[in-house]
Amino acid sequence: MSTLPFRRGERVNLSTSEVMIVGADPDGLEILAQMFAGFGVHTPRRCHDGQEAMTIVGERELNLIVVDSALGDMDGYSFISWLRRSAIAPNCHAPAILVTGHTKPSQIFKGRDAGASFVVRKPVPPLVMMQRIIWLLNDHRQFVSSPTYCGPDRRVRAMGPPVGMRGRRHDDLSIEVGAAKTPNLEQDEIDALFSPKAAAL
């Protein structure tokens, strides 16, 4: 909690946001809808299966999509994969949270590789969901569209391109380190960069 980029006293205004919640289980859907209504979302839009959700994606501009892994007519992974490749802008770039009960590593990778912005494990208490929303508000990841993947950049840390490769981005850094162009920092300036800061919640 202490490393989260928010304080509990901060304000968040979701009243005009368009949130779509998709899931086959009516009770699971009800719990999520109540949660988002509590967060201040005026009318969380509920969809009971993937087909209904696909129709809504084509009709309304959505700001956040929350998808259960079980949708009845398809699974949540396939829906997110479809969404990312649908080319229905701006919805195809909307943040998508995948909610799943079963979280073995292969399932998490599957969700990530489908293009989910986050995979959240059930049960999802409101505080955890709010944490994920705040993360999404601060998410500056770029979007990637390639023959094998479409979705938010999966590289959370910038490690540079693999050794021996040039990289595909204009801002990928070379492995060669050039000569310094600015004076070295003094020790107290270095120390200042590492000084711990309290994060009150």
Partner 1 sequence: MSTARIFRVENRLAKIARTHGGKTIDEAVRSAEARVASVRDRCVSALAGKAEQLAAYAKAAKGERTGDNVNGLYDVSNAIFGVAGVYGLNALAEAACSLCDLVDRSRGGEEINRSAIDVHVDGIRLLATGETEGAESILAGLRRVRARFAPPT
- CA contacts within 13 A on the Cβ side of 59: 8
Q: Which of 145, 174, 175, 191 binds partner 1 (CB under 8 A)?
A: 145
Q: Which of 52, 72, 86, 88 binds partner 1 (CB under 8 A)?
A: 72
List Cα–Cα distances, 186 to 139, 178, 191, in angstroms. 32, 20, 9
Distance (Å, rounded) from C-alpha 99 to C-alpha 162?
A: 32
Is 12 among the residues that bind partner 1 (CB under 8 A)?
A: yes
CB of 165 to partner 1, least distance (A): 8
Is 6 among the residues that bind partner 1 (CB under 8 A)?
A: yes
Q: Which of 100, 111, 118, 132 binds partner 1 (CB under 8 A)?
A: 100
Is 49 among the residues that bind partner 1 (CB under 8 A)?
A: no
Residue whose tokens read 């084509």: 58
Residue whose tokens read 């129709």: 55
The residue among 147 and 178 lying less far from partner 1, judged by its C-beta, is 147
Neighbours of 86 (CB within 10 A): 14
Task: Give yes or no for a contact between 119 and 103, defined as CB atoms under 8 angstroms apart.
Answer: yes
Residues that bind partner 1 (CB under 8 A): 6-17, 24-25, 27-28, 30-31, 34-40, 63-64, 68-70, 72, 90, 93-95, 99-102, 104, 122-127, 129-130, 133-134, 136-140, 142-148, 153, 168-169
